[in-house]
Chains A and B, each alone.
Chain A
Amino acid sequence: MAVVTTDAMTNAPQTRGNSKMAARDLNLFYGDAQALYNVDLDVVEREVTALIGPSGCGKSTFLRCLNRMNDTIDGVSINGKVTLDDRDIYDKVIDVVQLRARIGMVFQKPNPFPKSIFDNVAYGPRIHGLVNSRDELDEIVMTSLEKAGLLKEVKDRLASPATGLSGGQQQRLCIARAVAVSPEVILMDEPCSALDPIATAKVEELIDELRSNYTIVIVTHSMQQAARVSQRTAFFHLGKLVEVGETDQIFTNPRDERTKGYITGRFG
């Protein structure tokens, strides 16, 4: 993967807080088809950044660049730069396994492993050797479930299979599973698209609570959701980042005509 540094650094949009992650002049190709064009985006620490845009605009693809999940797909090539705490994550010295431990991910469809609830949450700590004793593991599992707001519902059946939970519970379990590795950033790819409104409300509430400890990037199809949970919003269109700014500003006073058209429902 060729990593090209350009002078795009100087064009970086101005941000309020500390930039936790940043993409600079990022281009991505699926084979010959280009899916992302020169994306420059900063993710601010302990904020929720929402990525919105019509289907196929590249927002999920961009999200998957942030923890190198696109590495698992054949034929993807990337140029440009993505940094985490100012270190290039596509650098050869970076171990993708450790990187993904620092940047957790929650997927569109709840995907609990066909194991017990406990083992699902314990999966990350176990493979990364984060614990030395069973007590420590119990501790991590309990606090993660607590943080994901699931502990009350499942504490009596930690040994039962996770696939028996409801969709909303499964998604919160996936969040607990991500939290258990103590990541710095959590990426969420349309985490509520398979959930009913009540489960969605719970997950949104949870995202808001997690913001105090984690930096969150969320892809969403629902503009109401972006408005409710995020502090910053980025609008993607046809593989390009059209506009990024404070959520309030994007929704009340968008600068770009395309953003305005999308949020007022004229296309997309």
Chain B
Amino acid sequence: MSLTFLLLAVALLCALSFVFGRQRAIALSGGRFSNLHSLPIHYGTYTALWCGLPALALLIVWYALQGPVTEALIINDLPVEITSDTGKLSLALNAISLIAADNGQHLNVAPEVVEAGNRLALLHTISNTALIVVLLCVALVGLGLSYRRIVADMRARNNVERIVRYLMIGCSAIAILSTVGIVFSLMFEALHFFSKVNPLEFLFGLEWSPQTAIRADQVASDGSFGMIPLFAGTLLITFIAMLVAVPVGLFSAIYMGEYASPTFRAWAKPALEILAGVPTVVYGFFAALTVAPFLRDTGSVLGLSVSSESALAAGLVMGVMIIPFVSSLSDDVMSQVPQSLRDGSYGLGATKSETIRHVIFPAALPGIVGAILLAVSRAIGETMIVVMAAGLAANLTANPLQAVTTVTVQIVTLLVGDQEFDSAKTLSAFALGLVLFLVTLGLNVFALKVVQKYREKYD
């Protein structure tokens, strides 16, 4: 409530300072805007930014520091017998914050703790009131200072653009830093895992059965964490998917790009791209409920034993899902092949298909390879279809009619459900995630390199 009020107040002040700044600039200009260095709107924006940004920065810092500072103050006043024991301390702190939030009536705790809780509530009230006062002061000071700095030849436009540039740098920093943060958290958890399980066993082990004892007194196997069956399953399904997606995607790209009439292309291409917009979970139940039973029944007619959760079903459906990636990316690279090359080939009496086979396709090949690699990395990381259709049995097999499991499926099953957070079983998900990330990252970097190399050739 108080936060909403504060933000609204700051926004209102910003709006006011925009109007004031603009008015002052107009007054200074004496009716002719060309007397000013910048347009009145820039002066307005300048004052508004100086009013709002320092206040917002203060707000963020205040909220970041409020918790630790009040906690330190409270701990300082607690008796030594509580603070010396970390377990007792964290219990007491929980109770204190409950009491401070007025939820602690039922608690049976020491009077010091109750008193500390009441003091925490008081501290919070003081802090919030102080925040309101300080924040509004900062906003008003920002407004006043920037307002007074407005003179006719102040470079308001340049200043505003500089501030906007810093804002944009900040936004891209958030995007990049969060990626880095994710990678680091993966890495630390994975290292934690490798302190429990030998990395060599993880990387090259042929058996995956992550069942470990949840409690110390339970009787269970030690678990084996060999990731080879998972990667073999992932690669098998990816391979089947590419067997579907590459030919179908390529041929449809060639048809769309080279043969189709503009009217047909105008509606067929978006229609194909709709495939990319179908949620993967929909593909998932399509695979599990339609394709897999169909394959099993067909198999039994032919005398083959097809598992009801076969790699084939998951791979086929995943292939269909990837068709639009392959087709629209390869369509793009093929349409970038210059018309002059087509003319050269037609001018020598080549037919359309000869031109495509001997000139366009080879010229576009690096780009097409890039497109396929991007599709492969997409297939490797795909989760939902395989969770629903591929099964959980970590079989090390090359037979597409059997059930296999993939890296992504195992990560899902490891982290769904109740688990002790520092057991090898749970931590192995991070190690799998890290390896998966490295594989797809490598593929993407390689694919982008290939595509870029191709781009340089004609631009």
Contact = CB atoms under 8 A, between A and B. Distances in A.
B344 interface: yes
Interface string B320-363: 00000000000000000010111111111111001000110011
Interface string A102-126: 0011110101111100000001100
B345 A107 contact: no
Interface in A196-245: none
A124 B351 CA distance: 11
Contacts, number: 70
A157 interface: no
A97 B349 contact: yes
A93 interface: no
B350 to A, nearest CB: 5
A113 B354 CA distance: 13
A94 interface: no
Q: Is the interface of B mostly helix, strand, loop or mixed?
A: helix
A159 interface: no
A185 to B, nearest CB: 12
A123 B363 contact: no
A99 B350 CA distance: 11
A127 B363 contact: no
Given A74-B262, A111-B344, A174-B344, A127 B350 contact: yes
Contacts of B106: none
A82 interface: no
B346 A123 contact: no
A113 B340 contact: no
Nearest to A101: B349
Interface residues on A, range: 20 to 34
Interface residues of B, number: 20
A111 B354 contact: no
Contacts of B347: 67, 69, 100, 104-107, 178
A104 B348 contact: yes
A128 interface: yes
B149 to A, nearest CB: 57
Which of the listed residues B344, B358, B363, B457 has the most CB atoms from chain A within 10 Å of its own CB?
A: B344
A98 B349 contact: yes
A69 B354 contact: no
Contacts of A74: 262
B362 A97 contact: no
A111 B340 CA distance: 6
A172 to B, nearest CB: 14
A124 B344 CA distance: 10
Contact of A111 (B341, B350, B358): B341
Contacts of B343: 69, 72, 105, 107, 111
29 contacts: A69-B347, A72-B342, A97-B349, A97-B351, A98-B349, A101-B349, A104-B347, A105-B348, A107-B344, A109-B340, A111-B338, A113-B344, A113-B358, A113-B359, A114-B362, A114-B363, A123-B345, A123-B348, A123-B350, A127-B348, A127-B350, A127-B351, A127-B354, A127-B358, A163-B457, A174-B344, A177-B344, A178-B348, A181-B348
A-B pairs, top 9 by smallest CB distance, nearest first, are A105-B347, A100-B349, A101-B349, A111-B340, A111-B344, A124-B348, A114-B363, A97-B349, A127-B354
